[in-house]
Every structure is written in C-alpha cells, then in structure tokens.
Amino acid sequence: MTTGQGDPVEPMAGLECTAVSVAETLKRLLVGRKLASTQLGETLLPKRIALPVFASDALSSVAYAPDEILLTLSLAGLAGYAFDWPVAIAVAVVMLVVVLSYRQTVHAYPSGGGDYEVVGVNLGPKWGLVVASALFVDYILTVAVSVSSGVQNAKAVFPQIVGFEGITAAVLIVVLMGMNLRGVRESGRFFAIPTYGFMIAVIGMTAWGLTRIFVLGEPLSAPTAEYDIVGNDFYSSLSGFALVALLARSFSSGCAALTGVEAISNGVPAFKEPKSRNAATTLGLLGTIAIGMLGGIITLASLTGAKLVDETGGVVFTHEGEPVEGHTDTIMGQLAGTVFDNFYPGFLFVIAMTMIILFLAANTAFNGFPVLGSILARDGYMPRALHTRGDRLAYSNGIILLSVAACALVLVFNASVTALIQLYVVGVFVSFTLSQIGMLRHWTRHLAVETDPAARAHMVRSRAINAIGATCTGVVLVIVLAAKFLYGAYLTIVAMAIVFAIMSAIRRHYTKVADETALVASETRTLPSRVHAVILVFELNKPTIRALNFAKASRANSIEAVAVASDEEVVEKLRNDWEELNPGITLKVLASPYREVVNPFLTYVKSLRSGNPRDVIMVYLPELVVGHWWERLLHNQTGLLIKSRLAFVPGVMVTAVPYQLASSAYALERAVRSDETGAAWRRPGRGQVHTGARPDADE
C-alpha cells in the first residue's frame, strides 16, 4: 500500500477504536440509532397512532377554546353568557364543514403538499406561496400557544414557575424538539398515551357530570356560579354594533379549536397504505371527537354556572356588590373540581391530562411544519437543507427551525396566552379559504373533461362540499380579521408578508444560480488550454513535499513553488534547504516589505492570469489534518484566508493537500464509532493515509 507520494506505508499496529465522541454518544442517546432510507416504511403510521400525532392540536384546543369564548362573552357581563351555546354551535358547524372539505383534499392531493399544493396547482404559485407563508406563521404560533397554555395551567400546581413562564416554555419546546428528532413513529407512540388519556378524561368528566345532574339529580355548582360579573361599559348594552362586535370576537376566539385540521392534509405520506383512506378516516374521527368534547365542556359550564372574566378588559367578579379577586381557574379546572368533588383522583387525572395535552399539542406543528418545509425546499422557496431527512428519517432541520422560532416567540411574549391568542387563527383561515377555492377550481377543471356519470356525480358532490367550506371559512376569515386586527392580528399579517418576501427572494436566488450554472453544449467538451500549477511553500517539510508531488502528478503545463519573504531569516534558510534538496522545481520568493503573506501571494497569482479564458491556474496548499478542536486554532489559518480570497478570482482553482498528523487518529476513531456498523479501523501513522477500506460489520 502506498501514500499519495508513492512512499510505502506499513499498517500501524495501533489500538482498536475505543474512544467515542461525547457529542455523538449524547446524540444517539437522545435521537436513537440511525435509520437507512430503506427503512422509511417502518416509520409509517397506522390510524391509532396517526390520530394522536396529527390531531393533538385540534383535540387540545377544546381545553382552551371554551375559555376564550367565555372570556370574551364576559365583556358584556353576566348577560353575555346567554350566547355561549350559539357561539359554540357556530364553531362546531364550521369545524364540521372544514373536516368534510379536507376529506376531499386528502383524496385529491395525497402527496403531502396540502393547502400549498392545492392552491399552487389551481390558483397559481404566488397564491400557493401566500398559503405557505400563512401556514408557516400558524405552525409557529401553534407551538407557542400550546406550550404557553400548558405553562399557564401548570402554574396552579407548580407556583415556582411564576415569573419564569417564558423560560419554562422555551425549555419545554426544546424537549419536544428532541422527542420529535427521534422520528414520527417514535414520538407518536409516546404522545398516544396522554392524547387518548385526555379524550378519556374529558368524555368521562362530561358523562359523569351529566349523569350526576340528570340521572342522580345532584345540583352541581361551579366555584364561580354564585358570582355576578361587571362587564365593559362598551359591550354591556348588548345592542347594535356592540353585540355584533362581541359575538364576532367570541366566535373568532373559539375558532382556535379548528387549528390543526390542516396538518393531516400535509401529513398524508406519513400514513400507512391506503394513505388517502386512512387520512380521511382519521380526519373524520378528529372532527367527531373534537366537536363532541367541545359541546360537552360548554354544556357542563352552562349547567354548573362556571364563569371566567377578562381582567385585561376591565371585567371583574362581584359577590353581593363587592369585587372578588383570586378566581382565575380555567374552565377545565373548575369543571373537574365540580364534577369530581367527591373523587379527588378523578380531578387529578383530568387536570394532569389537560396539562400534558396542552404541552403535546405542539406536536401537530412538529409534524406538519417540517413536511411543508421539505416541499417548499424542493420547489426552491426554502433552503435545500430543509428537504433532507435526518438520522431518524425525520426532517430534522425543519424541526429545529420550528423550535428556534417558537422559543423566540414565547420568550418575547413571556408565554402569555392572552397576548399570543390574538395572533392566532388568522393564518390558518387564510389557508382554509384559499384551499377551498382551489378545490372548487380543481373539481371544475376535472368536470370539464370527465364523461363517466358516476364520477361526475361524485365530483359535483365534492364541489358542493368545498363551495360550502369556502363560504364558511371565508366568512370566518373576515370576522377574525375584523375582530382581532387591532388586538394583534396585524402582526400576523406583517409576519406573513415578511415570510412571503423571504421565500420569494430565496426562489429568485436559486433561479439565478441555476441560470448561471446551466450547462451549455459548447462548454461540455472544452478542456483547459493551459494549466499553471503554483505550490505555496511555508517551510520545507513533508506536507510541502506531498503538495509538490501532487502537483507533479497533475501533469500541469508549468509548475512553480512560491514562498513569501515575510521573514528574511526564515526565507534564507528555506532557500538553502531547497537548493540542498533540489526537488526539481524552481522556488520563487516574493518580496513582502510589510511582512504580509496573503496579499503578496494573491497579487502574484492574479498576475499569472492570461487573456485566454481557457487558461487555468491551480494553486496547491499544504494543509495539516488535526484531531482536536484546539489544534484547528493553531494551524491552517493562512491557508483558509487564501482559499476564501481566491474563491472569488475567475480562472483559479485551489486544492488543499492534506497531511494527517498523529492526532488525526482521534478524529478518525470518532468518525468510525459514529457509524452504526461499529467496525474498527486502525490508527494511521504520522503522515500516512488510511491503509484500506473499513471492513463491513458482518464480515
């Protein structure tokens, strides 16, 4: 076996690789073993796991959507609570329509593009990008709102986090990021237990509460049932514009329960076969369960007299005319304490499952955002790194990007649900509305060419569903914008515009680069007419000789070695050693009156360029390969500067000729240990290259 210089190399009887990188070990502990691309099928989800993975956001919304409805209605005082049922029914109807509409989408567009693909194909790329921008912002808000809501609920049990809500939420987001980096199926299995636990808790609480009221005849009364409410003067009249504004605000807040429905249309590729059918079934289950849970909570709240007040809007509880403070429990907390007043474990179970599901609701975004980012990266609207799957076949870069953005948001708003909820819902209803309009055009286009009566009947029925969906979501979008614009929704519009501009700029950049680098037929067979090789010499040693030999092997038209006279004594010694060794190549010494190395060398290389665009200058730089991070600070700094500067000079190519120091063996050991095959290589000796191929794990 020989090195690149032709010198014989004897395999060194070194130690077997035993040292393992601490970072790599931690990564494997947190993320798990690597999965090959051929194992992608193992990560696909059955319906029982897909439901908690993709529906946790929508299901968890029933834990805070009733709170938002009742908080807004409290602005009108106790009389405003008369509209809790109408508002809840309106939200449920819209959810039903949206679920039915998206069942059409997952059948028509099963590739995972969801709203972005539907709108892009049927309304044009620009409108598709509008939807993508809206979804990006909404996914980030989903994580921020869900985790912040969980933190606010957790304060009742862990008062130590008061004042540290933002930091606590950021830490929890990082934990969720780590769990999702393990892969969709792995995280789904973990999330399935608390999600199903939350369903059991809410349905069980509702069933037992209704049984106690209607079957056992027990008069259940919430802790706030005996209080009156002094509302905001503007809304207290409950007439004219004040009534319309109140109902619009409460309805728009309650529509937070619809967030997450679109995630299933983006996640169809993650389902097991038949993908579309399984996704549509999961959507149906999601709609049925979420509507039932929302209705159950509103019913119990009405029957037990549970109330909330929006203190930020100047609303307060009163009892016998005196203000009452300290009653800030959520509706879920009040109902759990009321229904299970004689069974404390039941109360704890409901509260615990509610807290956990609010934290884990962010998982819906962790599955939808990376897939959407991957598709946008494929289309050139996002960095291409987002299109790449990680060690566990999850879109790791998208998961990390979502986590960073959500952490920034909860830190800025200190995990305040009241502040974040005003930014919420706008983006998702933009995508809902445009998606349904896109589906209308989809069915119209297909009806124009379809002749089969049965197929046409199905398309007409589907188009009718999407028409109703477009109307409902469009009306809701207008209401949401009108009701929330001045309360923070304008920030969402601004964020969407910024994301849109960034993605458009990325696409323009990729398009420009593609045009500049496109192959031209006349250039594919054009070879350099003349190659001039230049070896930069710092000192006469083994790395320099290796670079000289590589330059000779390239058979350039001319070769010269160049040194820079930054130190006269060093250069004089170099001249003498060069003449004594006589390597067969002339050494040229460049003057450097200001003791520089980089600029004189760059000036000389540029002077070698001729007027012929086919001439090439090949610069060889000896480079030491080291094994420790601190060694990198001590070597190769001049070479890095030269490489970075020459990269901008046309007609110049740079080749780094590596020379492995003994310490590089440690880096090699870490690289080998990171390979799942676990095969061991022997350490190379000083200046040696590796002695052969690594043996396979099964040999």
Structure tokens at 210: 């209704």
Instruction: Examine the domain organization and report whether 640 and 564 are in the same domain.
Output: yes
In a domain, 8, yes or no: no
447-478: pLDDT as tens digits: 988 888 998 998 998 899 889 888 888 888 88
Has residue 437 got a pLDDT over 90? yes
Q: Please give the distance of CA 20 from its chain centroid, rounded to a whole number.
A: 30
In a domain, 76, yes or no: yes
Instruction: Examine the domain organization and report whether 443 and 563 are in the same domain.
Output: no
pLDDT in the model for residue 548: 92
> Residue 340 — pLDDT band, cuts 50, 70, 90?
very high
622-672: pLDDT as tens digits: 988 877 777 777 788 888 899 989 988 888 999 998 888 887 776 666 656
In a domain, 9, yes or no: no
585-606: pLDDT as tens digits: 889 999 888 778 888 999 999 9
Instruction: Determine what percent of the chain is predicted with pLDDT higher than 70.
Output: 83
187-237: pLDDT as tens digits: 666 778 888 999 999 999 999 999 999 999 998 999 888 888 887 777 766
Instruction: Examine the domain organization and report whether 496 and 586 are in the same domain.
Output: no
Starting from the edge strand earliest in sequence, which strands make up the sheet with 316-319, in order?
Answer: 228-230, 316-319, 322-324
CA atoms 592, 597, 600, 601: torsion sign: positive
18, 665 contact by CB (below 8 A): no
> Which of 477, 508, 539 is the last residue before a domain boundary?
508
Instruction: Please identify which residue in the block is written with the tokens 């049922």.
Output: 85
At residue 101's C-alpha, the angle toward residues 104 and 468, to 5°, is 130
Instruction: Examine the domain organization and report whether 504 and 537 are in the same domain.
Output: no
Crossing angle of helices 22-31 and 165-181, in 10° steps, is 90
In a domain, 17, yes or no: no
Report d(CA 393, CA 378) in Å as an integer: 16
Instruction: Examine the domain organization and report whether 157 and 246 are in the same domain.
Output: yes
Give the range among 40-49, 246-255, 322-331 with minimum mean pLDDT.
Answer: 40-49
In a domain, 283, yes or no: yes
In a domain, 90, yes or no: yes
Report d(CA 92, CA 103) in Å as an integer: 17
Q: Residue 133's domain is classified under what CATH number?
A: 1.20.1740.10
What is the chain's length?
699
In a domain, 682, yes or no: no
> Which of 440, 474, 508 is the last residue before a domain boundary?
508
Instruction: Examine the domain organization and report whether 458 and 538 are in the same domain.
Output: no
Residues with Cβ within 8 Å of residue 315, at least 6 apart in sequence: 74, 75, 77, 229, 230, 231, 232, 309
Has residue 678 got a pLDDT over 60? no
> Residue 22 — pLDDT band, cuts 50, 70, 90?
low
Instruction: Examine the domain organization and report whether 261 and 377 are in the same domain.
Output: yes
Strands 558-565 and 587-591: parallel
> Which of 447, 474, 508 is the last residue before a domain boundary?
508
Report d(CA 283, CA 302) in Å as an integer: 29
Instruction: Examine the domain organization and report whether 64 and 160 are in the same domain.
Output: yes
Q: Indicate the average pLDDT of the chain.
A: 80
Q: Which of 162, 183, 161, 165 is nearest to 173 (CA)?
A: 165
Residues 330-336: what's their mean pLDDT? 88
126-181: pLDDT as tens digits: 999 999 999 889 889 888 888 887 787 777 667 788 888 889 989 999 988 888 88
pLDDT in the model for residue 127: 93
Structure tokens at 603: 């000036």
Q: Which of 133, 147, 119 is nearest to 57 (CA)?
A: 147
DSSP state letters, 70-108: HHHHGGG-GGGGGGHHHHHHHHHHHHHHHHHHHHHHHHH
Alpha helix positions (H), 563-628: 568-581, 598-607
Structure tokens at 538: 């710092």
Instruction: Examine the domain organization and report whether 489 and 592 are in the same domain.
Output: no
Report d(CA 279, CA 470) in Å as an integer: 21
Instruction: Examine the domain organization and report whether 544 and 501 are in the same domain.
Output: no
Which structural domain range is residue 53 located in?
A: 46-508
Report d(CA 474, CA 429) in Å as an integer: 8
pLDDT in the model for residue 633: 75
pLDDT in the model for residue 695: 37
Has residue 338 got a pLDDT over 90? yes
Residues 294-300: what's their mean pLDDT? 92
pLDDT in the model for residue 274: 84
In a domain, 609, yes or no: yes
Most confident by average pLDDT, 65-74, 391-400, 411-420: 65-74
Instruction: Examine the domain organization and report whether 421 and 477 are in the same domain.
Output: yes
How many domains does the chain contain in total?
2
For residue 45, the 8-state DSSP code is B
The b-or-e profile of 37-53 (16+ CB within 10 A means b, else e) is: eeeeeebbbeeebbbbb
For residue 539, the 8-state DSSP code is S
Q: Which of 571, 622, 567 is nearest to 595 (CA)?
A: 567
Q: How far apart are the first and last CA of the chain?
A: 22
Structure tokens at 502: 């960034």
357-373: pLDDT as tens digits: 877 777 778 877 888 88
Q: Residue 588's domain is classified under what CATH number?
A: 3.40.50.620
Instruction: Examine the domain organization and report whether 568 and 481 are in the same domain.
Output: no
- The residues with which 532 forms a beta bridge, in sequence order, are 558, 617
Instruction: Determine what percent of the chain is predicted with pLDDT higher than 90.
Output: 19
